[in-house]
Every structure is written in structure tokens, then in C-alpha cells.
Amino acid sequence: MDHSNVRSPEGAGDNASPTLSVTVPAWKQPGVISNHRRRVMKGRIVEVLAVLCILAVLLPLGDMIYMFAYRGLQVISIPKLTTITVGSASFVSGGLANAIAGTALLISLAAAITIPIGVLGGVYMSEFSNDSRLSEGLRFAADIMAGNSSIVLGYVGYLVFVLYFGWGYSAAAGALTLSILMFPYVFRTTELALRKVPASIREAAIALGSTKTTMINRLVLRFALPGILTGIILAVGIGLSETAPLLYTALFSNYLPSGALFHEPIGYLTYVVYVYSQLPSNGAHDLAYLSSFLLISAVLVINVVARVGLRKLSKV
């Protein structure tokens, strides 16, 4: 922007008390008051719009929760939760025991794999890595993996575990695929939680003669634990909610998991929502509603635990 015309032509721009050309204070100038009213009006309109925006988003959320809670609670019963699904297509009855057990198994396996790798990896990034090119690259890779479409991951799982390793549709294939999905979240959140531990604490420990590893184990991890746990819990929530990675790795099964990790398909709740919602039988629809309800409840609990638990633990 060319400001050469700001200088006064007479060049009388010295500092000694020049007279301001308009000495009337701003609020006395005409138009400022009415303009001001307009400005305040604009602000009010924006406030209303902002409220409308949040309502526009809360409405679907509320409808979703209400609908699935209502139908889910209509359908729920002990038998429904403890018997397995029977039949398929136009005649479905029974319960969700197979799906619930399958989800539980898959998540547990996936967590068992992801947690050590993710947490230790995060520890490495935060404590040992010196922010080198390597660590930047790792973060980059993790971010790319996190941003990937879940079906792409499902394809990878199918091609690698089901086909190439020859495991067939199995809990192992599903769990491993899930763990690849969950890994970036645990990895990054652990690193973040560890970085939040103040440097002063680390320095105090070193100054007292502690070795680096002891300091980390005893002190830093304890401080960062709430953050790490929250990351794990939230990653579990993400794993619970996934369908696509499991479609072609775990397939589905009407039977309770037998403990075989290979060559045996396994059921899971999200599949029930996906497929049974489209089947012609009312029994199937009931199961789909119930699964949705269970899934939403699980997510709700996870969110509450993560938020509240984190706040409480952080105050220690």
C-alpha cells in the first residue's frame, strides 16, 4: 500500500505539538452514534446465528440418541444380550451375544497390541528422540495413517492377513487391522501427554542423581498417566465404532467366539447395524436398533469417563 500521500504537502510534520485538524472528540461527531447502534445490532444478529448453528447440530444428535435409546430400550432384555443370533435374511431372531462377545474380543486383542506399541513409541518420541528428522517423519506417517479412510485399511488387512498370511477371516486379522487403525491415536496422545510434564520436574529428578530411565519410569509416566489413559480410552472408542476395517477381515459369525484366532470369522456389533438394518425381518431390525443403542451408550460412557476422569486425575 502506498502511503506517500499521507504526508502533508507542506512537510510540516514535526513533533512539537501540531494541531489536530479535527479537535472534536469522536463521540461528538455526527453519525458515530447511529453507526454505533448499527454495529451493536450486527453483533446481536451474529449471536443469534451462532446459537442457531449449535442448535442445528444438537438437534440431529438429540434425535439420534433419543431414537436409538427409545427403540433400544424397547427391545432390550437379558435374553437379547445373552443368546446368539439365529437365522439370517428374512427370519432373524435371538440376541446379540455373539456380536457383543466378538466386539469385546476384537477390541481387547487390538488394545493389547496397540497399547504397548503406541505408548512405548510415544515415550520414544517424547523422551529419546531429540526431535530429529526421523521423529518428524514418524509423526508425519502417523498423521497420514490417522487420516486414512477406514476401508482402505480394511483392504490392506484383507490382502495381508486374510490372503497373504493365509489366516482367513479371523479374529486375528480383524484385531490386527483394528490395531493399525488405533495406533496413531495412542502414539500421538502419549507423546503429547508426556510433553506436557513440565521440564522442571525432569530437571529436579536428574539433579537428584536419578538416571534418565528411572526418572521416566517413576516420575514422568506417573504424571502423564491421566493423559495417556485418556488417549487409550478414546482410541478404544474409535475402535469400537469401526465397521469397514472388519468387514473383510473378521467377516461375521452367528456363533460365539470359540477362542480360535485364526481361520474363524467372528461377529461384532457394528456389522449388525450395517447389515441387519437392511434385512426384511423385524427381528433383524430390533437387533440393529439394540446394537446402535449399545454402541452409542458405550461411546457416551467413554466420553464421560475421558472428560471427567481426566479432570479428576489431573488434579492429583
Partner 1 sequence: MVSALLGSSAFLFLFLTIVVLVIFSYPSFIVNGLGFFTSITWNPSLSGSVVTVNGIRSMSGASFGMLVFFSGTLLSSGLALLIGVPLSLGIAIFLSEVAPQRISNIMSFFVELLAGIPSIVFGFWGFLVLGPFLIHSVEPVMAKYLYFIPYFGGKVYSYGLPASGLILALMTVPIIASISRDAMAQTPIELREAGRALGLTDWEVTRKIVLPSARTAIAGSIVLGLGRALGETMAVVMVSESAVNILPKTFYYPINSIAAFMAQTLDSAFTDPTKMEIYALVELAVVLLLITTTVNVIARLLVRRGFITSAEHVVQV
Partner 2 sequence: MLEEEVLMNEENDALRGERQPLKRGEPSDQSAPLIQLTDFSAFYGDVEVLKNINLSIESNKITVVMGPSGCGKSTLVRTLNRMNDEVPGFRIKGKILLDGEDIYAPGVDPVLLKTRVGMVFQKPNPFPISIYDNVAFGPRIHKLAKNKEQLNAIVRESLQYAALWEEVKDRLEKNALGLSGGQQQRLCIARALAVKPEVILMDEPASALDPGATYKVEELMVELKEKYTVVLVTHNMQQAARVGTSVAFLYRGELVEFGAASDVFENPKNPLTEKYIRGIL
Grid look-up 449388525 returns 272
**Hey, CA dihedral for 191, 195, 197, 202, is it positive or negative?**
positive
The least CB distance from residue 46 to partner 2, in Å, is 15
Which of 240, 144, 127, 131 shows the shortest CA–CA distance to 190?
Answer: 127
Give all strands (DSSP E) within 197-264, no chain letters.
Answer: none
Nearer Cβ to partner 1, position 7 or 42? 42
The nearer residue to partner 2, 25 or 209, going by C-beta atoms, is 25
33 binds, among partner 1, partner 2, none (CB under 5 to 8 A by kind): partner 2
Contact call for residues 178 and 107 (beta carbons, < 8 A): yes
Of 27 and 164, CB closest to partner 2: 27
Segment 232 to 251, residues that bind partner 1, using CB under 8 A = 234-235, 237-238, 240-244, 247-248
Neighbours of 242 (CB within 10 A): 22
40 touches partner 1 by CB under 8 A: yes
Of 7 and 212, which CB lies nearer to partner 1 in the complex structure?
Answer: 212
- Does the protein bind partner 1 through residue 86 (CB under 8 A)? no
Per partner kind, with CB cut-offs from 5 to 8 A, the member of partner 2, partner 1, none near residue 54 is: partner 1
* 78 vs 86: CA distance, rounded Å: 16
The C-alpha cell at 287 is: 437387533
In DSSP terms, 87 is beta-bridged to 92
Cβ neighbours of 134 (radius 10 Å): 12
Helices then strands, each counted (H, E), the chain: 13, 2
From the list partner 1, partner 2, none, partner contacted by residue 14 (C-beta under 5 to 8 A by kind): partner 2
Task: Return the range that interacts with partner 1 (CB under 8 A); candidates 76-84, 91-99, 123-131, 252-260.
Answer: 123-131
Options 96-104, 198-206, 254-262, 267-275: segment touching partner 1 (CB under 8 A): 267-275
Q: Please report, as ranges, the residues that interact with partner 2 according to CB under 8 A.
A: 1, 3, 5-8, 13-15, 17-18, 20-29, 31-33, 35-36, 39-40
3-state secondary structure 195-243: HCCCHHHHHHHHHCCCCHHHHHHHHHHHHHHHHHHHHHHHHHHHHHCCC
Q: Considering the complex, what minimum distance in angstroms separates the CB of residue 310 from partner 2?
A: 25
Could you tell me the smallest distance in angstroms from the CB atom of residue 184 to partner 1?
Answer: 5
Q: What is the DSSP letter of 88?
A: E
Separation of alpha carbons 100 and 84, rounded Å? 9
Shortest spacing between CB 190 and partner 1, in angstroms: 10
Beta carbon nearer to partner 2, 1 or 316:
1
Rule CB under 8 A: is residue 9 a binding residue for partner 1? no
Q: Which of residues 159-178 bind partner 1 (CB under 8 A)?
A: 159-160, 164
Choose from partner 2, partner 1, none: what does 310 bind? Cβ within 5-8 Å by kind. Answer: partner 1
Size of the site for partner 1 (CB under 8 A): 97
| 91 three-state secondary structure | strand
Closer residue to partner 2 in complex, CB, 9/209: 9
Q: Under a CB-based contact definition with an 8 Å cutoff, are residues 271 and 246 in contact?
A: yes
Residue in the structure block whose three cell numbers are 526421523: 134
Return the number of the residue (18 or 198) whose C-beta is nearest partner 2.
18
Instruction: Output the smallest distance, CB 131 to partner 1, in A.
Output: 13
155 binds, among partner 1, partner 2, none (CB under 5 to 8 A by kind): partner 1
Instruction: Tell me which amino acid residue 206 is.
Output: I
DSSP type of residue 16: S
Beta-bridged to residue 91, according to DSSP, are 88
